[in-house]
Amino acid sequence: MGTPSAGQIHRLGRDQLASWVDALLGERKRVFAPVLRRGLRVLRAVERAQDVDFAPGRTRWSPKEFLFPRTETLFSYENRDGVPVLADPPADDVPRILFGVQPCDAAGLVRLDSILLQDPFYARRRELTTVVAIACSEAAPECFCTAVGGSPAGQEGVDVLLAPLETGWVVRALSPKGEALLAPRRGGWETAAAGDWEAALEQAGRVAGSIGRRELPAAWAEKLEQSFADPIWDELARRCVGCSICAYVCPSCSCFDVADEGSDACGSRCRTWDSCSFRLFTQHGSGHNPRATQPARSRQRVLHKFAFYPLQHGGRAMCVGCGRCIRSCPVGMDIHAEVVEVMSGRPEKEAGDVQR
Ligand code: SF4
Ligand code: SF4
């Protein structure tokens, strides 16, 4: 949570934030922001600022679907008198802004980059996207960003950071994209007072201090990898039902399947989110499944995030501690507690008997 080296800092009143969103929409940018829908806080394309819920905090789903859609067409085909004709999906070149996401979600996009940037569809959307994050003003019980190197005011993957003040917001660009987004506004915005930025960081520091979950150090990756055959995994994961909601809500899970839909005459090739927690994810055509049990599949998800990926990516976990998987799991699985359990060599005895 350091201080960025460049960039003027501004202070905005509450109404000015909404005016800024309206101005962005007026410039024909697509803005995805938190809204309340039937009691859920979700990210949606908005058409007016008054629909936006500007409060800091978690949305039900992560923003990954706006760069890596739940399902998308890679190409379509048509049989024209025996000649196959391929067509790309329509180009979507509208600049878009992820407005009001959490810092951990911005960091999640950086994890996705490491896997998906080589894909031209993802790369194009990423290039067109500017991330405006809001620093968290409180932590939910499931949050553990600080355990994996993040912060309630984290800057990884953030182009513009907003932080709440008592009377409004402090705003700072953290990247060239962020600078470009703020440049047209600077003339009309008040420069932040001395100490505003520091006050915002202090508040984030208090939120960080309220996160009670212990650090999951990068140095654990090797030992976790060595736990592969440990029977503790059967104990830990036996109640997992394989629903995969944990992967679907996760900002850093990137597994997908590719399938052809159609007939001899026409059709398309689609890419759709998938999950290593599904039985069919690894099942071979022969019927053999190398991850034959649910605990084996559950182990894969945890070890991929905290052992295999970090060992290949400089020690960084493929988890940003957003806590969504813990919040959403129908049987109370807790990925942070699982890692702690394996490292402490202590099989889980009963739900809640976990030193976090
Ligand atoms: S860990 Fe929980 S959310 Fe994930 S697949 Fe198992 S039961 Fe479903
Ligand atoms: S594994 Fe869970 S806590 Fe970690 S980033 Fe994914 S959803 Fe969030």
Q: What is the pLDDT of residues 107-124, one digit of tens each?
A: 999 999 999 999 999 999
**Domain count along the chain:** 2
Question: Are 143 and 24 found together in one domain?
Answer: yes
Question: Are 223 and 202 found together in one domain?
Answer: no
DSSP 30-68: EEEEEEEETTEEEEEEESSGGG---S-S--SS-GGGGTS
Percent of the chain residues topping a pLDDT of 90:
90
31 lines ligand 1 (CB under 6 A): no
Domain termination site, one of 178, 210, 242: 210
Domain termination site, one of 210, 234, 258: 210
327 lines ligand 1 (CB under 6 A): no
Q: What is the mean pLDDT of residues 71-97?
A: 95
Domain termination site, one of 210, 229, 245: 210
Least confident interval from 35-39, 99-103, 349-353: 349-353
- Give pLDDT tens digits for 192-211: 998 999 999 999 999 999 99
For the full predicted model, state whether its pTM sits above 0.85: yes
Percent of the chain residues topping a pLDDT of 70:
95
Supply the residue whose CA is at minimum distance from atom 6 of ligand 1: 240
Question: Are 195 and 158 found together in one domain?
Answer: yes
What is the residue range of 28's domain? 9-64+93-210
Pocket of ligand 2 (CB under 6 A): 108, 249-252, 305, 319-325, 335
pLDDT mean across residues, the chain: 93
pLDDT for the residue 256: 97
Q: What is the mean pLDDT of residues 128-133?
A: 98
Separation of 76 CA from ligand 2 center, angstroms? 34
Question: Are 137 and 228 found together in one domain?
Answer: no
Q: What is the mean pLDDT of residues 92-119?
A: 97
What is the residue whose two structure tokens read 């998308």?
A: 72
pLDDT value at 356 more than 80: no
At residue 7 the predicted structure's pLDDT band, cuts being 50, 70 and 90, is low
Assess if residue 78 is contained within a domain: no
pLDDT for the residue 148: 97
At residue 351 the predicted structure's pLDDT band, cuts being 50, 70 and 90, is very low
243 lines ligand 1 (CB under 6 A): yes
| Distance of alpha carbon 300 from alpha carbon 167, whole angstroms | 46
246 lines ligand 1 (CB under 6 A): yes
pLDDT for the residue 198: 93
Question: Are 256 and 196 found together in one domain?
Answer: no
pLDDT value at 1 more than 80: no
Q: What is the mean pLDDT of residues 267-273?
A: 97
Assess if residue 15 is contained within a domain: yes
Mutational test site, ligand 1, from 236, 244, 253, 273, max ligand atoms within 8 Å of CB: 244
DSSP 332-346: ---HHHHHHHHHHT-
pLDDT value at 4 more than 60: no
pLDDT value at 255 more than 90: yes
Task: Yes or no: say if 104 and 289 are a contact pair by the CB < 8 Å rule.
Answer: no
Q: What is the mean pLDDT of residues 315-321?
A: 97
Tell me the torsion sign for CA atoms 152, 153, 157, 158. Answer: positive
Supply the residue whose CA is at minimum distance from atom 7 of ligand 1: 240
Mutational test site, ligand 2, from 248, 252, 298, 309, max ligand atoms within 8 Å of CB: 252
Assess if residue 349 is contained within a domain: no
SS3 content of the chain, % helix, strand, coil (to 5): 35, 20, 40
User: Is 78 strand, coil or helix?
Assistant: strand
pLDDT for the residue 345: 79
Task: Yes or no: say if 32 and 65 are a contact pair by the CB < 8 Å rule.
Answer: no
Mutational test site, ligand 1, from 60, 233, 246, max ligand atoms within 8 Å of CB: 246
Mutational test site, ligand 2, from 335, 336, 338, 340, max ligand atoms within 8 Å of CB: 335
User: What is the edge-to-edge ordering of all strands in the sheet holding 266-273?
Assistant: 83-87, 71-80, 266-273, 256-262
Region of 323 on the Ramachandran plot (φ > 0 left; ψ -120 to 50 alpha; else beta):
left
At residue 348 the predicted structure's pLDDT band, cuts being 50, 70 and 90, is very low
Assess if residue 285 is contained within a domain: yes
Question: Are 229 and 114 found together in one domain?
Answer: no
At residue 354 the predicted structure's pLDDT band, cuts being 50, 70 and 90, is very low
Separation of 69 CA from ligand 2 center, angstroms? 18
